[in-house]
Chains A and B, each alone.
Chain A
Amino acid sequence: GAGVSQSPRYKVAKRGQDVALRCDPISGHVSLFWYQQALGQGPEFLTYFQNEAQLDKSGLPSDRFFAERPEGSVSTLKIQRTQQEDSAVYLCASSLAAGELFFGEGSRLTVL
């Protein structure tokens, strides 16, 4: 596609539900990043892939958060047993190695 595509754009989950957020990066982009943006805050790093390898997951806030990119293209961020504090916009970005970043529109998660 022409840009980074994220789905769903909006997700409402009941506390305790599992959610999966998808990111389709720009074709050929080796680097893929996930960020979490709470309301009124700047984005916070979650995790980073280079192709299928997850090189940095230091930003994942708990073991309820899991990300994968099994074929080096599409990535999924999974949140198990969602809590209210997980409510945020989850942003995906991709780039060629060390190049300009392209962001998706984000997935807004609301946990009730």
Chain B
Amino acid sequence: KNEVEQSPQNLTAQEGEFITINCSYSVGISALHWLQQHPGGGIVSLFMLSSGKKKHGRLIATINIQEKHSSLHITASHPRDSAVYICAVRVGNEKLTFGTGTRLTIIP
């Protein structure tokens, strides 16, 4: 069983919809990262969280340490948001353990 589980695996939505991607993990962590990867592209770090909530533009990330759960929200989604969103947790000696990603497609 993967230490980091994401849901859904695939998500298709209409432009403008509110998007939620969930991440659950089973180990104690020092930080959780949300990453974005476009097809054929590199990985961009969106957020690094250890508690609470962070907001950047239309993106919001929350984490509940007690429940070992984090969510990534996208408001007013746009086709350029189409990408794979990856949750990764930092444990122990700083290495990241990655989820398998959520493939998001926003239809105009």
Contacts and interface: CB of A to CB of B under 8 A. Distances in A.
A98 B94 contact: yes
Contacts of B100: 41-42
B31 A98 contact: yes
The main secondary structure of chain B at its interface with chain A is strand
Interface stretch (A17-25, A61-69, A101-109): A101-109
Given A41-B100, A42-B100, A42-B101, A102 B95 contact: no
Contact of A105 (B41, B45, B94, B98): B41
Interface string A80-112: 000000000001010101111111111000000
Interface band, chain B = 20 to 34
A14 to B, nearest CB: 24
Interface string B71-95: 0000000000000001010100111
B51 to A, nearest CB: 15
A98 B45 contact: no
A102 B45 contact: yes
Contacts of B98: 35, 42-44
A98 B43 CA distance: 18
Contacts of A93: 43
Contacts of B22: none
Nearest to A55: B93
14 contacts: A33-B95, A35-B96, A43-B43, A43-B86, A43-B88, A43-B98, A45-B96, A45-B97, A56-B95, A95-B94, A97-B94, A98-B31, A99-B48, A102-B45
Given A93-B43, A101-B33, 4 more contacts: A42-B86, A56-B93, A101-B96, A103-B45
